[in-house]
């Protein structure tokens, strides 16, 4: 197996992460859409995946173990983001009377609560995340983000495939 085969895959993943963040930041700063707590968590997942892909591209491991580790780490980051985006889509599909309460703002929670409690509260009581502010081709932004994570998952899966083939 060609030792350099991992680098182009990692760079493609990094480029896709940059594209996802460019769209998110463009919608925020140009479109005027404020990200909800679940959107912020999805952005963190994209950034973490991008960092993993960047390190994988720089390191460009030649063996099974290195490619496998980057593949597993990348899949964990992308899977976490997909889970959060899926939760976001699910919240948006709930009838209005079943939407959880909004709770305090993310900035406040980050200031006064431990991270574990912040994550739990955001995932369990993010009523403000149920609002649909924007639709494109009939899909909300979290649905598009979920699609983005599904496409991005091809990168760590390819890394794992390359590790298996070595």
Burial classification of residue 162, based on how many CB atoms lie within 10 Å of its CB (0-12 exposed, 13-18 middle, 19 or more buried): buried
E-strand stretches of 66-158: 135-136, 139-140
Q: Alpha-carbon distance 22 to 111, whole Å?
A: 27
pLDDT at 32: 84
Q: H or E segment at 106? A: helix 106-112
Q: Report the SS3 class of residue 2.
A: coil
Q: What is the pLDDT along the chain (166 residues), one digit of tens a residue?
A: 455 588 999 999 999 999 999 999 998 898 888 888 888 889 999 999 999 999 999 988 877 888 889 999 999 999 999 999 998 888 888 777 766 666 666 666 777 777 777 777 666 666 667 677 777 788 888 899 999 999 999 999 999 988 888 6
Residue 86 phi, psi dihedral angles, 5° rounding: -65, -40
pLDDT at 4: 52
Q: H or E segment at 24? A: helix 6-29
Question: Cα torsion for 120, 53, 59, 76, to the nearest 10°?
Answer: 40
Q: Alpha-carbon distance 61 to 69, whole Å?
A: 10
pTM (2 decimals)?
0.81
Q: Which of 52, 48, 49, 40 is nearest to 141 (CA)?
A: 40
Q: Alpha-carbon distance 5 to 24, whole Å?
A: 30
């Amino acid at each position: 197996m060609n030792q350099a085969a991992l680098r182009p895959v990692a760079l493609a993943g990094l480029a896709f992460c940059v594209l996802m963040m460019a769209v998110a930041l463009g919608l925020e700063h140009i479109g005027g859409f404020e990200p909800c707590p679940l959107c912020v968590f999805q952005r963190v997942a994209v950034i973490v995946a991008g960092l993993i892909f960047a390190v994988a591209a720089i390191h460009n491991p030649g063996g099974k173990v290195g490619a496998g580790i980057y593949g597993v780490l990348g899949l964990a980051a992308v899977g976490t983001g997909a889970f959060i985006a899926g939760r976001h889509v699910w919240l948006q599909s709930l009838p209005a009377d079943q939407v959880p309460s909004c709770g305090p703002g993310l900035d406040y929670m980050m200031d006064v609560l431990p991270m574990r409690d912040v994550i739990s509260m955001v995932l369990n009581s993010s009523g403000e995340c149920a609002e649909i502010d924007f639709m494109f081709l009939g899909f909300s932004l979290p649905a598009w983000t979920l699609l983005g994570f599904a496409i991005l998952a091809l990168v760590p899966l390819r890394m794992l495939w390359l590790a298996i083939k070595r």
